[in-house]
Every structure is written in C-alpha cells, then in structure tokens.
Amino acid sequence: MSVVLTTASVPDRDKVAYWRDAVSRTLVPMTVAPRGDGPFDGRITTDRLGCLRVSTMEADAKRVSRTPELIARSSEALVAVGIQVSGTATLIQDGRRAEVGEGDLVVYDTARPYSFDYPERFSTHVFQLPHRALGVSDADIRQASGTVIGPADGFGAVLQPFLSTLATSAHSYSPAVGGKLANSVIDLFATLVAEGTRQVPADADTARSHLVLRIRSHIDRNLGDPALSPEAIAKAHHISVRYLHRLFEGEGITIGRLIQQRRLEECARELSRRGRTSPTVSAVAQRWGFVNPAHFSRAFRSAYGLSPREWRSLRTSVEGADAPKPDVPPVVAVPATQHE
C-alpha cells in the first residue's frame, strides 16, 4: 500500500519543516531550502517492491542537499535513479555537474554528498536500491554517479519507459510480483552502472571526464600502497603531475585530499566491523596505506571528531534500529597535508 505525504493540510508556517521530514523519511535525510516566498507545496508517494523503494515527488522549486552529517545518521547506502517527469534539475556530486531535463534519467549515490537544485515546480520518480543488492563495486558506483541518460539514448530508450510504468503502477502489485519486479530492476541497474563505467569519450570534455573516472578507480584499487601519490598516479596514466592537478580543479577536491579521504573512509569502515577478533588500529592503518601512526591518528580525529580507538568502541557497541550501521562510515572532506 502506498504511503502518501502532502503539505496540503499542513499550516503554512509548518509546511517546510513537514516537507523536510517527509523527504527524509521516504527517501534519505536531506536539507530542504525552498526557492519561493509563498507557502511551500509538495506531495510524495512511496511504495516498496522487495528491496526496491519507488517514490514519486511533486513539489515547488527548492534545493536539497545531502551533507556528510546527514549521511553519518543514515543506516544504509543506496544507489538512486531519478526520472525527471516535469521541470528541470541540476545534480552536483563528486564535483561533477549534471543538467537533467524532462524525460532524462540520472544516477546518484546517497552514500556521498550531493545536491539537487530544482529552479521551478517539478515532478520526478525516484528508485532506490541498497548498494549491496547490486553486486557491483563502490568504485563502479562512483564512476556511474552523476550520469545523465536521455530517453532516446540507447539503454535509456529501454529503461525509461519500463521505470516510468513501474512508478505509476507500483501500488498495484502483490508482494510476490513486486519481489520479482525488484529483481528485474536490480539487473537493469547493475547493467546501467556497468554501462556508466564503459562510456567511450566522444569529445574533449567527455575524454577529460573519462580520464578523471579512470584515475578515481586507480586510486580506489591502490589505496593500500604507501607509495600512492600524485607523481605515481600521473606516471601510471602517462600524464604530467601538473596536468593531473588541472584535471581535478573542477572536482572540488585535490588529489592529495582525495587519497587521504578515501583511505580514512576505508579505515573507518574496517574499524566499524564487529567480530570475535579485530585487527589492531595500527594494522588497519597500514593496510590502507598509512605508514605514520601519529599522522593517521591526527587525520582520523580531524575527519571524524574521534580517535580511531574511540571510533571503534562507539561503532561496535551501538545497538538499536536508530543507530548507524557499523559498515557505513560517513564520507567527509578532510584536510590533507600529506599523501600518506
């Protein structure tokens, strides 16, 4: 049965707060900033088909943001695909900017910060699946995020009509049929992510974007190598260090900060795991490329506000449905003074 949340009967002074709570409950926790001066109007309908969450949102112009603080409070990382039914949107994630028009599909990842700007009243379908259900790597999901697919573009020509029909009829399926449809969507999303990592550059801009994605994937594969550095990355991709830094000027993060951030994320993830035996903090740090324990502790505290040991103690002892799951650490921007 559909869950329908609307501001229609909410007092004007409470509409924005109500809508923020509605979006956070049905999609993921986000900040909401309306663009208009009048009373805000919005309606969201959500259905469940197995592990697939299907929502249709219609609302006035607004900007929504998914911040590191809100990510830290979420229990599960989700891959999302949106279909812009009416109006337009601008998605920003990982320093990439995606302009979304009517009929377009857009892929994004709720485990990393992003924002959507809707300059006018709009309607959109949103499909969300857990990372774990797709069976693809985090690196591939990262590469596919921010991808816009037009309704006439190859795979989009097949996927868009199917998802649009599913969104408008999700309430009518039995649990058994809904589960089978969810499995079909899982396969389609996995294919969509795979296609997003194999796009062939068509011009200078797409070639540049493709190279950035390759570099990000290289970093993820080599985080445990203490020698991973801008110089090593540039050499592996047959470019100069200067050009490497220029590539990332539009990414919102430097190479050094990206390496350190990804290492800290993996350390935080590993330190969060429960088990009968756990590796020492220093062993975890070394596994992910930190060779200086003191530097690791300072960087970790700067990023997460806790020492590695305090983080492990907190994340492995929390219990209850509202507690963050220990295998999903927050994604944060951290200052980098070293590349280790």
pLDDT per residue of the chain (340 residues) written in tens, 0 to 9: 789 999 999 999 999 999 999 999 999 999 999 998 889 999 999 999 999 999 999 999 999 999 999 998 877 889 999 999 999 999 999 888 899 999 999 999 999 999 999 999 999 999 999 988 887 788 888 888 888 888 777 667 778 888 999 999 999 988 889 888 888 888 888 887 876 655 433 444 555 677 788 888 889 999 999 999 999 998 888 777 887 888 887 777 899 999 999 999 999 988 888 776 778 999 999 999 999 999 999 999 999 999 999 988 887 775 433 444 444 344 444 444 444 4
pLDDT for the residue numbered 107:
93
Q: Specify the number of domains making up the chain.
A: 2
CATH number at residue 226: 1.10.10.60
Q: Which residue has the tokens 């999700």?
A: 170
Query: How is 259-297 classified by DSSP, letter by letter?
Result: HHHHHHHHHHHHHT---SS---HHHHHHHTT---HHHHH
pLDDT for the residue numbered 325:
43
What CA–CA distance (Å, rounded) separates 176 from 83? 25
CA distances from 126 to 19, 50, 71, 108 (A): 16, 15, 18, 11
Which distant-in-sequence residues (6+ apart) come within 8 Å of 17 by Cβ? none
CATH number at residue 125: 2.60.120.10
Which distant-in-sequence residues (6+ apart) come within 8 Å of 95 by Cβ? 248, 250, 251, 252, 253
Q: Where are the alpha helices (DSSP H) in 197-340?
A: 204-221, 230-236, 241-247, 255-271, 281-287, 293-304, 308-317
What CA–CA distance (Å, rounded) separates 262 from 222? 11
287 part of a folded domain: yes
194 is written with which tokens? 């795979």
Question: What is the residue range of 276's domain?
Answer: 204-317
pLDDT for the residue numbered 335:
44
**Quick one: the chain helix, strand, coil %, rounded to 5?**
45, 20, 35
332 part of a folded domain: no
pTM for the full predicted model = 0.59
Q: What are phi and psi of 188, to 5 degrees?
A: -65, -40
pLDDT for the residue numbered 286:
94
pLDDT for the residue numbered 318:
56
What CA–CA distance (Å, rounded) separates 191 from 154? 12
Residues 243-266 pLDDT 10s: 788 888 777 789 999 999 999 999
Give the 3-state secondary structure of residue 333: coil
pLDDT for the residue numbered 59:
97
Domain termination residue (choose one: 153, 180, 196): 196
Whether 116 and 20 map to the same domain: the answer is yes
Whether 162 and 228 map to the same domain: the answer is no
